[in-house]
Structures are given as structure tokens and as C-alpha cells.
């Protein structure tokens, strides 16, 4: 994959482009609608769902409060079981560690399990610079990689593509990097999956090094867990001689028993299944079985910064299920690319600013505003991340970084003026009398249903509203003036 999110415009601009893509709108509305319904059905079956959510949030919070202890315990367990543990402060360090392992075995390719952490650090691009090809083996990741495209969803990164587009990509690209797609390939899903199986099989059997992430890392037992649907993960985790797993530090859970809660929450929230088809667990090295050299890279890359934020730290509970993306009305219309990150949607709108920090990149600073604060995300989140609360908190951080700037942003001037006017009832009353005058002077507007008249086209920034939406003319008398004139409606 050579495409990157570097240089993406801020959300409103990127969204404008996406909103005009009719195929994208169609694909997303269909896909998110389907998965939303599936999730609602299987979550509705679980009577104690709310208790499970509370338990999931509590386990994560407790672990995060003592993160250092649990991570050291994890390192100890893993080391005892023959794994090599590496600590990576940032993307650069993590990529270097993986590349060193691959180079140490003289390979020019690795097979990959779908992993958000390796996407986040740009591992594939880094390995490519060192002459090592990283093959994505998850079906949707394969589609994205072959199409020289970018992922647009955490769980189903090719959600923006429909099957006709996928057939086209397979026919055009597969032959360039391995076994070509069959000549007579149609867009029937089973045939497309069949073509991917054949194409990938030779890569599974050939690869000496596998790269993965982990959904969970159990500190007590040194067990890493990968939850998946397709079985490609199982192939990558068992066939190669060497396995490197890049794991965000927030993935640690204290005990094996904690998995009980998360293995119920995750599949129902993400794919809308009661149970996912493949759950692979491994603890270090099993002599004579599976990879005989196991590396685990524990990744910070902004996570400790997020942990220091008392409101924002709840984002580290995230188990990457994507339920918030699938219900988000903004995501449904703009798709994932508009968020300019491998983490799109509501969780991306808080996670990116938390990991990267606000105040130095307009693209990152635009993300907390990419929401109408409707709250649908919080409602479905299996670990109860109050995303609207964190969005508002991050907005205040964005505003605070610009305080004292000269000249102030027009928005800041507008907000301060509004706050000043609204700070005192007398000033508000005067403003209402002025707007009432506008109402009296512009009596000629088009009649609206209900008897009022419409304001015409407004100058900027009012045009942002009036370009597509009517606005009624201000009433000639405010409520306040009416109350006074009629002595509370009695006069």
C-alpha cells in the first residue's frame, strides 16, 4: 500500500468531496444499515447487556489505573514463555523493531493479520522502504491494498467498495502481485472470496515471518488473543516460523477470566455475531508447534499522553469494534476517508486528537467538530465511552490553544459577542428589538408553512445556512417583549 493519509484536508473540506460521491453514499448507507440491524438484533438478545458494558468499562478502567504494573507483569509472563518483548515509544521505534526482525531472517516479504496498530504506525510503508513487502491477508484489507486505496472503516476497511468494484480490482491487480484472478470471475461474493483464497494461499505457505496485532493481551498468562472471522489470521499466526505482534499498551487485561466479558461484547458489537468464527490465542512459544520465534512490541505512540487526560482517557477502553462508526449519521454520509486517519468515525474523532495532541494541526483540530453530538455512538459503545463528552472536552482544548491569539479567529469573536449579548437580559432585549426591526422591514419574504415569511439569502457566514435552508424572519415581537406588554399574558 503506497496511499497515505498524510496531507489530508480538514474534515469539512474532505467531507464535501465525499458527500458528492454517489457510489460511496450508496455503498455506505447499505452497509452500515445492514450491520446496524444485525448488531441491534444480537445485542437485544442479551438481557444483561448493560451489566456486561459496565463490567467491560470497569475492567478497562481498573487496568488503565495500574497500567504500569500490568504491563510489567505481561512482559514477565511473555518472557518466561520464550517470547521476546520490545517496548516502542512511537511509530518510528515500532517500525524499526519489526523491520529488524524481518531483516534478521533475510526475508523480503511478510504476511499480515488485520491489525489497527500496524496501520496506525504505517508499518507497511516503512517495510516497503526497506524492500520488504507486507501482504495483507484479511479480505477487505487485501481489497484496499490491491486497489492502492486507503482503509475507511476499522472493521471492514473496504466498506466504501461494492462487489462490482471489488471484482474490477481483483481482475486488474491480482496478477501483478501473485496468482491472478480467474478469467471468468463474477461479482458473486462466494466467487470473490474464492479468488482471494487462492491468491492468498501461496503467500501463507511461502511466508517465513508473520505480523499481527492483538485484540487482548492477558498479563497473568502471557496470552495474546486475535479475534477474527476469516481464518486468515489463524494461518498467519500458525504457519510462519517467526511471529511479530504489535500491541498497543492499552490492550492488556489482567487475567484470563477478563476475556469472558470482552469475548461477549466484541463480536456482538462489531460484526453483529453472537460469536466470531476464529479466536486464536498463543502464549509465547509452544515447542514444535507454530512459530518458534515470537516477538511482542508494546506500543505507546501517544497512549500515555491520552492516559494523562482525565476526561479523554476513557477512549483507551476502546476495543475497536466499530459499532460507533456503524450508527454514526456523519460517518454514514462522509465515509471514513474524510477523517484522514486509520481511525475514522466517532472514535477516530476523539482518538486521533488524544493520541496526537491538539493545537498544531488543523486537520486533527477539525475532528472533534465532525459530530452533531447526537449521542448514538455512546449508546452503542460496548465499553461505555461517552464520546460526546470527550468531543466537547476536546473542542474546549482546541479553543483554549487559540486563546490570546492576535487577531482572534472570527468564530472566537462571534462567540464572545454572543456570550456578551446573552450575558445580560437587557442587552438581549435590545438585540431582539433590533432583530424585530429586521422582521418589520423585510415583510416581503416568501410565505412559509405556518404563516411566517422567509428571510432571503444571507451574507457569509449566514450563507452557510441559507444556501440550502430557509430561515423564518425574526418575529416583530419577542417573547420577552410580549410578556412585558401583556403583563405575563394577562394584559
Q: Does 416 interact with another protein (rule: CB under 8 A)?
A: yes
**95: which 3 cell numbers?**
517500525
The span from the CA of 322 to the CA of 275, in Å, is 16
Q: Which stretch binds another protein (CB under 8 A): 93-101, 120-128, 216-224, 416-424?
A: 416-424
Q: State the number of binding residues for another protein (CB under 8 A).
A: 68
Q: Which stretch binds another protein (CB under 8 A): 49-57, 295-303, 318-326, 431-439?
A: 431-439
Which residues lie below 8 Å from residue 138, measured CB to CB, with a gap of 6+?
Answer: 113, 114, 157, 228, 230, 232, 233
Question: Closer CB to another protein, residue 210 or residue 439?
Answer: 439
**298: which 3 cell numbers?**
508494546
Q: Does 480 interact with another protein (rule: CB under 8 A)?
A: yes
Whether 153 and 325 have beta carbons less than 8 Å apart is answered as: yes
Residue 191's φ and ψ, nearest 5 degrees, are: -70, -40
Whether 38 and 256 have beta carbons less than 8 Å apart is answered as: no
Q: With H, G, I as helix, E, B as strand and everything else as coil, classify residue 211.
A: strand
How far apart are CB 169 and another protein at their closest, in Å?
27
Q: What residues between 432 and 461 interact with another protein by CB under 8 A?
A: 432, 435, 448-450, 454, 461
Question: Closer CB to another protein, residue 209 or residue 390?
Answer: 390
Q: Does 54 interact with another protein (rule: CB under 8 A)?
A: no
Whether 427 and 421 have beta carbons less than 8 Å apart is answered as: yes
Q: Does 49 interact with another protein (rule: CB under 8 A)?
A: no
How far apart are CB 367 and another protein at their closest, in Å?
11
Question: Closer CB to another protein, residue 193 or residue 418?
Answer: 418
Query: 384: which DSSP letter?
Result: -
Out of 45, 176, 406, 425, the only residue in the binding site for another protein (CB under 8 A) is 425
Question: Closer CB to another protein, residue 14 or residue 299?
Answer: 14
Residue 39's φ and ψ, nearest 5 degrees, are: -60, -45
The span from the CA of 21 to the CA of 34, in Å, is 20
How far apart are CB 388 and another protein at their closest, in Å?
8
Question: Closer CB to another protein, residue 125 or residue 477?
Answer: 477
How far apart are CB 163 and another protein at their closest, in Å?
24
Q: Does 26 interact with another protein (rule: CB under 8 A)?
A: no
How far apart are CB 370 and another protein at their closest, in Å?
6
The span from the CA of 70 to the CA of 77, in Å, is 10
Residue 399's closest CA among 414, 420, 421?
414
Q: Does 301 interact with another protein (rule: CB under 8 A)?
A: no
Out of 103, 412, 442, 445, the only residue in the binding site for another protein (CB under 8 A) is 412
Out of 237, 283, 316, 330, the only residue in the binding site for another protein (CB under 8 A) is 330
Residue 129 Ramachandran class (φ > 0 left, ψ -120 to 50 alpha, else beta): alpha
How far apart are CB 31 and another protein at their closest, in Å?
16
Q: Does 333 interact with another protein (rule: CB under 8 A)?
A: yes
Q: Does 413 interact with another protein (rule: CB under 8 A)?
A: no
- Residue keyed to cell 458473486: 188
In the β-sheet with 84-88, what is the strand arrangement from edge to edge?
84-88, 293-299, 242-248, 209-212, 109-112, 133-136
Q: What residues between 354 and 393 interact with another protein by CB under 8 A?
A: 368-376, 378-379, 392
Out of 4, 23, 255, 396, the only residue in the binding site for another protein (CB under 8 A) is 396
The span from the CA of 21 to the CA of 17, in Å, is 7
How far apart are CB 42 and another protein at their closest, in Å?
19
The span from the CA of 201 to the CA of 137, in Å, is 9
Residue 98: Cβ within 10 Å count: 27
Q: Does 50 interact with another protein (rule: CB under 8 A)?
A: no
**320: which 3 cell numbers?**
475497536
How far apart are CB 137 and another protein at their closest, in Å?
34
Residue 385's closest CA among 53, 20, 50?
53
How far apart are CB 8 and another protein at their closest, in Å?
16
Question: Closer CB to another protein, residue 221 or residue 466?
Answer: 466
Whether 38 and 361 have beta carbons less than 8 Å apart is answered as: no
Whether 363 and 10 have beta carbons less than 8 Å apart is answered as: yes
Q: Does 341 interact with another protein (rule: CB under 8 A)?
A: no
The span from the CA of 375 to the CA of 327, in Å, is 10
The span from the CA of 370 to the CA of 362, in Å, is 13
Out of 104, 175, 189, 329, the only residue in the binding site for another protein (CB under 8 A) is 329
Q: Give contact residues for another protein (rule: CB under 8 A).
A: 11-12, 15-16, 19, 329-330, 333-334, 368-376, 378-379, 392, 394-400, 403, 411-412, 415-416, 418-419, 422-425, 428, 431-432, 435, 448-450, 454, 461, 464-465, 467-472, 474-475, 477-480, 482-484, 488-490
Amino acid at each position: 500500500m503506497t496511499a497515505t493519509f498524510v496531507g489530508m484536508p480538514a474534515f469539512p473540506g474532505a467531507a464535501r468531496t465525499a458527500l458528492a460521491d454517489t457510489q460511496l453514499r450508496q455503498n455506505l448507507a447499505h452497509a452500515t444499515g445492514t450491520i446496524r440491524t444485525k448488531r441491534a438484533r444480537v445485542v437485544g438478545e442479551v438481557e444483561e447487556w448493560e451489566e456486561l458494558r459496565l463490567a467491560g468499562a470497569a475492567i478497562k478502567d481498573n487496568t488503565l489505573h495500574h497500567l504500569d504494573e500490568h504491563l510489567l507483569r505481561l512482559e514477565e509472563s511473555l518472557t518466561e514463555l520464550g517470547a521476546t518483548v520490545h517496548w516502542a515509544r512511537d511509530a518510528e521505534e515500532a517500525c524499526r523493531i519489526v523491520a529488524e526482525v524481518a531483516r534478521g531472517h533475510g526475508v523480503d516479504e511478510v504476511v499480515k493479520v488485520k491489525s489497527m496498530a500496524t496501520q496506525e504506525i504505517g508499518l507497511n510503508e516503512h517495510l516497503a522502504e526497506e524492500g520488504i513487502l507486507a501482504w495483507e491477508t484479511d479480505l477487505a484489507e487485501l481489497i484496499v491494498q490491491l486497489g492502492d486505496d486507503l482503509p475507511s472503516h476499522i472493521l471492514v476497511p473496504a466498506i466504501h467498495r461494492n462487489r462490482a468494484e471489488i471484482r474490477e480490482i481483483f481482475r486488474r491487480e491480482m496478477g501483478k502481485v501473485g496468482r491472478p484472478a480467474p478469467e471468468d470471475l463474477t461479482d458473486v461474493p462466494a466467487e470473490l472470496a474464492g479468488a482471494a483464497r487462492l491468491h492468498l494461499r501461496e503467500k501463507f505457505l511461502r511466508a517465513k515471518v508473520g505480523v499481527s496485532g492483538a485484540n487482548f493481551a492477558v498479563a497473568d498468562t502471557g496470552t495474546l488473543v486475535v479475534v477474527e472471522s476469516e481464518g486468515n489470521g489463524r494461518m498467519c499466526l500458525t504457519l510462519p516460523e517467526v511471529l511479530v505482534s504489535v500491541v498497543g499498551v492499552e490492550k492488556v487485561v489482567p487475567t484470563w477470566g477478563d476475556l469472558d466479558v470482552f469475548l461477549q461484547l466484541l463480536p456482538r458489537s462489531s460484526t453483529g455475531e453472537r460469536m466470531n468464527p476464529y479466536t486464536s490465542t498463543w502464549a509465547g512459544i509452544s515447542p514444535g508447534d507454530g512459530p518458534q520465534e515470537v516477538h511482542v512490541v508494546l506500543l505507546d505512540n501517544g497512549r500515555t499522553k491520552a492516559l494523562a487526560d482525565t476526561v479523554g482517557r476513557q477512549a483507551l477502553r476502546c476495543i475497536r469494534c466499530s459499532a460507533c462508526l456503524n450508527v454514526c449519521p456523519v460517518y454514514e454520509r462522509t465515509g471514513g476517508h474524510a477523517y484522514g486517519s486509520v481511525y475514522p468515525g466517532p472514535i477516530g474523532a476523539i482518538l486521533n486528537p488524544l493520541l496526537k495532541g491538539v493545537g498544531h494541526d488543523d486537520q486533527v483540530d477539525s475532528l472533534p467538530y465532525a459530530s452533531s453530538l447526537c449521542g448514538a455512538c455512546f449508546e452503542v459503545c460496548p465499553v461505555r465511552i461517552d464520546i460526546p463528552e470527550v468531543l466537547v472536552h476536546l473542542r474546549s482544548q482546541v479553543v483554549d490553544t487559540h486563546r490570546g491569539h492576535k487577531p482572534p479567529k472570527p468564530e472566537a469573536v462571534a462567540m464572545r459577542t454572543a456570550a456578551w449579548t446573552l450575558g445580560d437580559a437587557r442587552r438581549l432585549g435590545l438585540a431582539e428589538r433590533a432583530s424585530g426591526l429586521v422582521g418589520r422591514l423585510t415583510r416581503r419574504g416568501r410565505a412559509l408553512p405556518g404563516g411566517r415569511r422567509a428571510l432571503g439569502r444571507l451574507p457569509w457566514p449566514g450563507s452557510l445556512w441559507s444556501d440550502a435552508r430557509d430561515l423564518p424572519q425574526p418575529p416583530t415581537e419577542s417573547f420577552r417583549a410580549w410578556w412585558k406588554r401583556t403583563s405575563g399574558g394577562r394584559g
